[in-house]
Amino acid sequence: MLKEAKGLILVLSAPAGAGKTTLCKRLLQTSPTFISSVSFTTRSPRKQEIEGVDYYFVSREDFEKLIKKNAFVEWAEVHGHLYGTSKKFLEENIKAGKDVILEVDVKGGTKIKEKYPQAILIFILPPSWQELEKRLHKRATEDEKSIKERLSTAKQEIKYLPYYDYFLVNDDINATTKRLLLIIEAERYKINRVPEKEINRVIKNI
Ligand code: 5GP
């Protein structure tokens, strides 16, 4: 655990189509302290995805080299592709006081919590399975087989809910963003996040 770290580690996990990426974009718009971690993946870019913005797209061979170099905080295989969180990016940014948002799958989320117990794990749920299926069809970034696969993965992922600190049902994006900001605001006031010097200063001034 990085005791001197100032920024928050915010882990957002959700079944595909629950609205995690939109929520992350909303957070980034609310304050310049938020920064989104750019993961490495062996998946091919989708239309409109940008290298270095959405992901670093690498070959499986290069990804394996990065694993050997210990470049990842965690990595996991999701839907047949490898995804990994950069250790350098995360540690440099929290040290600099940035609140780092990590959009990772449930296995990644629990691994991050093991390494950084101060990480805040938030699970985003869709209002219903029917709604999730509807959103995946509307998104049209996957074919029918991938949609089926993502729905069945979602049912497995829900099992990790007890390992998370918070859950939010994304029934309305504005309301969910507000709830997420409330969680983050409350987390900033946790005694164990406030430096001792600051607590002493406050006590002295009472
Ligand atoms: P997609 O291919 O739809 O962008 O992402 C598929 C899944 O991989 C999502 O659940 C996403 O959160 C997860 N993912 C993205 N980056 C990482 C990462 O660095 N580590 C892990 N464990 N999962 C990730």
Among 74, 85, 103, 164, the mutation site with the greatest number of ligand 1 atoms within 8 A of its Cβ is 103
What are the residue ranges spanned by the domains of the chain? Answer: 9-37+99-205
H or E segment and range at residue 41: strand 39-41
CA of 183 to the centre of ligand 1 (A): 23
Contacts of 42 (CB under 8 A, 6+ apart): 57, 58, 59, 60, 63, 81, 82, 83
For residue 145, the tally of other CB atoms under 10 A from its CB is 8
The number of the ligand 1 atom at minimal distance from the alpha carbon of 40 is 19
Residue located nearest, by CA, to atom 24 of ligand 1: 104
Number of helices (H), then strands (E), belonging to the chain: the values are 8, 9
Give the sign of the dihedral formed by CA 182, CA 14, CA 93, CA 163.
positive
Ligand 1 atom having least distance to the Cα of 109: 22
**45 in Cβ contact with 195 (< 8 Å):** no
Per DSSP bridges, beta strands 39-41 and 55-57 are parallel
Asked if 106 and 13 touch (Cβ cutoff 8 Å), the reply is: yes
Tokens matching residue 122? 């938030």
Q: Mark the ranges of the chain whose per-residue pLDDT is less than 50.
A: 1-2
Instruction: Using only the alpha carbons of the chain, give its radius of gyration.
Output: 18
Helices (H), 14-141: 20-30, 60-68, 87-95, 106-115, 129-139
Residues in the chain: 206
CB 1 within 8 A of CB 90: no
Ligand 1 binding pocket (C-beta < 6 A) is: 16, 39, 43, 74, 76, 78, 83-85, 103-105, 107-108
Q: Rounded distance, CA 160 to CA 178, Å?
A: 24
> What is the rounded distance in angstroms from the CA atom of residue 114 to the CA atom of residue 137?
35
Residue 58 CA to ligand 1 center (angstroms) comes to 14
The single residue listed with the structure tokens 């928050």 is: 8
pLDDT score of 16? 82
Atom of ligand 1 nearest to the CA of 12: 12
pLDDT recorded at residue 1? 45
Taking CA atoms only, the protein residue closest to ligand 1 atom 12 is: 104
Q: Which tokens in the block code for residue 42? A: 């062996």
Type of residue numbered 82: L
pTM to 2 decimal places: 0.90
Query: For domain 9-37+99-205, is the CATH number 3.40.50.300?
Result: yes
